[in-house]
Structure 1
Amino acid sequence: MIPLLHVHHIAIICADYAASKRFYTQVLGLEVIREVYRVERQSYKLDLALRGQYVIELFSFPEPPPRLTQPEATGLRHLAFAVADLDATVAWLDQYQVTSEPIRTDEFTGRRFTFIQDPDGLPVEFYEA
């Protein structure tokens, strides 16, 4: 068995870099580690952290193909964040006009959760810890 330590990062390709950067930094509050423009690829790469831990690599590329289906497409199904207070999280998202699905309860854990979509339609889950 490979002695894995932890998930290093999640890579996301976005269609509108400015909108996605705003969403992940201002709405979700992730911290910018570094931002570079790669001229040869006509692409931005934005490294983001949550409480000092590198978690997301956000890429822009010229004309990336759209996601085919939601959320059952091959590939990343969704990104999930643990939150202490789901009601406060939904209220925060409402301030940014980010619509969340109705809150549901996990039938196995009894924990509450909801989903939103990032600017490219990627499902983002908030799971009450």
Structure 2
Amino acid sequence: MLKRIHHTAIICSDYEVSKQFYIQTLGLKVVAENYRAHRDSYKLDLALPDGGQIELFSFPNAPKRPDTPEAQGLRHLAFVVDSVEDSKRELESKGIDVEPIRVDEYTGRAFTFFKDPDGLPLELYQEHQQDD
């Protein structure tokens, strides 16, 4: 029945800062950008290379997200990359704090975490298992 995730929706606190982060820092492509005056809200559709999308929303006075990944709800958003090490280095060169690289004890694949401007945990996950 289900084939893949079509999109993930994110509500940000500062639209321009988050827009720049997802476009300039992460390199996502703009599909559409709309301002909905009746809601005083922007909706920005961003394309991932595999066809999936992120919908970036702004809403006035949106409540803050619980600050721990163990809170109920979305725990984190993970992106597949060719090389976690190379991606980590690229993000750090852009001033993004990235956690040390770890290896998944079950899959043997490298992964690490960083945060978007609102503190949403984002993960880089190695596409293929690292060679020993």
Could you say which residue in structure 2 is the equivalent of 1:68?
Answer: 66
SS in 1 for 2:89: helix
Q: Could you tell me which of 26, 34, 37 is aligned with 1:39?
A: 37
Q: Which amino acid aligns with 1:30?
A: L
TM-score (norm 2): 0.92
Query: Which residue number in structure 1 is paired with residue 88 of structure 2?
Result: 90
**Pairwise CA RMSD of aligned residues?**
1.1
5+ long unaligned stretches in structure 2? 128-132
> Where in structure 1 are there 5+ consecutive unaligned residues?
none
Q: Secondary structure at the match of 2:22?
A: helix
3-state SS of 1:91 partner: helix
Percent identity, aligned pairs only, is: 56
Q: For 1:10 and 1:128, locate their aligned partners in 2 and report how far apart those are by CA, in whole Å.
A: 20
One-letter amino acid matched to 1:22: Q
- Whichever residue aligns with residue 88 of structure 1, its letter is D
What are the residue-to-residue correspondences of 1:7-22 with 2, within 5 Å?
7-22=5-20
Displacement of 1:127 after TM fit? Answer: 0.6
Q: Which segments of structure 1 move beyond 6 Å, counting only runs of 4 or more?
A: none
CA offset digits 1:35-61 (Å, max 9, x no partner): 000000100000010126141111000
Report Cα offsets for 1:47-87 as digits up to 9, x if no partner: 01012614111100012111122211221110000111111
